[in-house]
Amino acid sequence: MITFKQLEALYWIAELGSFETAANKLYMSQSAISKRIQELEDSFGVQLFDRSKRQARLTEKGSELLEYAKELLEKRDLLVERVSSSEVLVKRFRLGVTELTALTWLPALVERIRQTYPRVHIEPSVELSSDLFRKLGDDQLDLIIVPDVYDDARFIVTPLKAVENAWMCAPHMAPASSPIGLEELGSYTVLTQGSSSGTGLVYERWLSSHNVQMPRTLTSHNLLVQVGLTLSGLGISYLPKQCLAHLVDAGTLSIISTKPGLPLIRYAAMYRLDRQMGLNGYVAQMAHKSCNFSKLLLNRTL
C-alpha cells in the first residue's frame, strides 16, 4: 500500500536534491528514507530516481509520480487545515517578506500566527520583491508581502496599508528653498533600490512618466545600507517617512520636499489561487489587521 510517508520522502528528495538532506529534514536515517523510495518503486514496478547521477535526479516516471504526490499531499494538508482545530494543526508555513516588513511589523504578524496556530512552523524568507514573486510562482513560498505592483491572475491579492516615502538627505545637502521641482533631483547622486525592488520599480516608472533623468545613481538592495549611505552624505534617497521620523527630528536627516511629491507605495499579501483555501487566507487576513509600517524596530540604534 502507498503511504503519505513514502510520498513525502519522494517530495523532499526531489525538493532538496539528495537523500541525505531529505532524511535530515524528515528527522530520519538515510537508510530509512531509501527504504521508503524502494517500497514506492516496488509498488509501481518502475525506477523513480536515476542512481547513476551524483545528485538525486528523478526519472521520467519519477517526475510524473511527483506531480501526483504533490497534489495528494496538498489535499491531505487542506483536509487537516479545514477539519482540525488550530491547536492541533501541524504545518510549515513559508512566509516571504521584503526588508521593510521584516524591520517593522513582522514580529506582530508572527505572534498572531503563533497565537492562532501554535503548532505551525514558520519559515521566513526576507528578499527582494522580484525574488519573492518568482518563488511564489514556483511554489517555493506560501504567501508573500510585497508592494502591490504585480498583476497576475494566478494569485489572490489582499490589500494592506500604504507606505509614505520622502526624499531625504544629510542636512548639509538640503536645498536652500523648498519645495523643488523634480528636474532639480538630477543634480544629485540618487541612491535607489533598483527595479528588482517593488518600491524601486514604482519610482522608476513614476520618474520616467515625469521625464525625470537621473544621470548619477547608486543602487542598493538593502534598506539599512541605503539609510547609511544617505546619512553619510553620499546622495539623496527615497526613504519611509514615518519609520525614519526620529532621524529627521534629531536633525541627522533632512527631508527634501518636491512638487509633485512621491506617490504612496501600496503593499499587499499574495498567495496562489490554487491554495486559496486554508491557512494562506487566514494569514492574509491577519496581515491586513496587523500591518503597520510606522515604527522601525531598530529605532534605538539608528
**Span 170-202, pLDDT tens digits:** 999 999 888 999 989 889 999 998 889 999 999
Mean pLDDT of 86-107: 86
Same structural domain, 205 and 121: no
Does 127 map to a domain? yes
pLDDT in tens, 118-170: 888 899 999 999 999 999 999 899 999 999 998 888 899 999 999 999 999 99
| 77 three-class SS | helix
What is the Cα–Cα distance from 192 to 217, expressed in whole angstroms?
A: 7
pTM of this structure: 0.74
Q: Which three cell numbers stand for residue 276?
A: 486559496
Higher pLDDT, 233 or 55: 233
251: left (phi over 0), alpha (psi -120 to 50) or beta: left
Same structural domain, 115 and 247: no
Q: What is the CATH number of the domain that holds 98?
A: 3.40.190.10
Does 50 map to a domain? yes
Q: Which residue has the cell 521508503?
A: 36
Same structural domain, 150 and 178: no
Domain that holds residue 22: 4-83
| 38 three-class SS | helix
- Strand-pair category, 165-169 with 143-147: unpaired
Give the contacts of 217 (CB within 8 A, at least 6 positions apart). 189, 190, 191, 192
Does 299 map to a domain? no
What is the Cα–Cα distance from 165 to 244, expressed in whole angstroms?
A: 10
Opening angle at CA 207, ends 182 and 161, nearest 5: 105
Q: Which three cell numbers stand for residue 191?
A: 541612491
Does 129 map to a domain? yes
Model confidence at 70: pLDDT above 70:
yes
pLDDT for position 84: 64
Q: How confident is the model at residue 55 (pLDDT cuts 50, 70, 90)?
A: confident
Say how many C-beta atoms besides its own lie within 10 A of residue 302's C-beta.
Answer: 18
Q: How confident is the model at residue 25 (pLDDT cuts 50, 70, 90)?
A: confident
Model confidence at 264: pLDDT above 70:
yes
Same structural domain, 74 and 212: no
Model confidence at 23: pLDDT above 60:
yes
Residue percentage of the chain with pLDDT more than 90: 57
Same structural domain, 172 and 256: yes
DSSP string for 121-151: EEEEEE--HHHHHHHHHTTS-SEEEEES---
Say how many C-beta atoms besides its own lie within 10 A of residue 199's C-beta.
Answer: 25
Q: How far is CA 179 from CA 81, 246, 256, 265, in A?
A: 54, 21, 7, 21
Model confidence at 277: pLDDT above 80:
no
Same structural domain, 186 and 255: yes
Residues 103 and 227: beta-carbon distance below 8 Å: no
pLDDT for position 240: 96
How many domains is the chain built from? 3
Residues 197 and 128: beta-carbon distance below 8 Å: yes
Mean predicted lDDT score pLDDT of the chain:
89
Does 302 map to a domain? no
